[in-house]
Amino acid sequence: MISFKNVSCTFEGGAGIENATFDIEPGEFVCIIGPTGAGKTTFLKLIYMDIFPEEGTVGVDKYRSDKIKKRSIPMLRRRVGMVFQDFELLKDRSVFDNIAIPLHVQGVGMKMVKDEVENVLERLGISDRRDHLPSQLSGGEQQIVSLARALVKDPLVILADEPTGNLDPAASLKVIELLEEINRDGTAVLMATHNFSLVKDRGYRFMQIVDGEVQT
């Protein structure tokens, strides 16, 4: 599903990935660990093709970084759910509207948008927050909304970039448990974190970035 073949990429600050080769299969839960600045975010950016490798090829589903056309990048991103440390929610829209955006982007009909968003709200236990603005939610709730927005489009994989970075321990645990639940239902999860203690005993596959080398 995701494959890195001899990928090298230098990113801001001089650090980089050197000659990384590995595969991630559907339904896996993979944790990318490494200190701040090691390149975890850039690693994820390579997957959703916000940046491209200088050498080698990144493959996601049927898309390959060396062949993809600019107009196909949105199609790739519709297959990938993304969750960010700072939530990246639209502050002037309700929870419902934030979660609905990926469906509108895909041209889903209004009735189905309503049904799908209601489903995911219920699944993640935030139905009572549907009309709230992000500013009216706690950090943990905002991250769950972000997770709902990623999940609503039924992605192949969820990329979570430090999803617990701004959360207290209880909220962090809640988000991790939700990611595990989503993973149990068949969606692959690729989570970047520097908080090893939070994830170390949970049975994930770990990848570590050390001096540009991706150790799997």
Partner 1 sequence: MIDRFLYLVSEGIRSLWRTKTTALATISAIGIAASFVVFSAVVGENISGIIQIARGQYEFQVFFSKDVDNIRAAELVDQIGAIEGIMSASLITKEEAADIFQREFGENIFDLLEENPLPPGSVLKLRQPKDGRIDVNPIIKQIELVEGVDEVRYQERLISLIERYYEGFFAAVTALAAAILFGTVILISNTIRLSIYARRDLIRILKLVGATDRFVRFPFMIEGILEGFFGSLVAAAVSYGFVEGSNYFLSLFTQYRLVWQFQIVALLVGVIVFFSFVGSMRAVRKFL
Q: Which residues bind partner 1 (CB under 8 A)?
A: 48, 71, 74-78, 82, 88-90, 92-93, 101-102, 104-110, 149, 153
CB of 6 to partner 1, least distance (A): 27
The tokens for 171 are 């909220």
Q: Which is nearer to partner 1, 15 or 133 (CB)?
A: 133
CB of 134 to partner 1, least distance (A): 12
Helix segments in the chain, DSSP class H: 40-47, 73-77, 95-105, 110-123, 139-151, 169-184, 196-199
**151 closest CA partner among 187, 104, 105:** 187
Helices 169-184 and 139-151, axial angle in degrees (round to 10)? 20
**205 closest CA partner among 216, 194, 192:** 216
CB of 103 to partner 1, least distance (A): 9
CB of 52 to partner 1, least distance (A): 15
Q: Which is nearer to partner 1, 20 or 189 (CB)?
A: 189
Q: Which is nearer to partner 1, 48 or 96 (CB)?
A: 48
According to DSSP, the residues that pair with 4 across neighbouring strands are 22, 58
Distances (CA, A) of 163 to 119, 194, 209: 22, 10, 18
CB of 201 to partner 1, least distance (A): 32
CB of 192 to partner 1, least distance (A): 15
Q: Are 120 and 100 in contact (CB under 8 A)?
A: no
Q: Which is nearer to partner 1, 64 or 78 (CB)?
A: 78
Helix segments in 34-94, DSSP class H: 40-47, 73-77
Q: Which is nearer to partner 1, 82 or 207 (CB)?
A: 82
Distances (CA, A) of 68 to 48, 55, 112, 173: 12, 15, 30, 37
Q: Which is nearer to partner 1, 37 or 74 (CB)?
A: 74
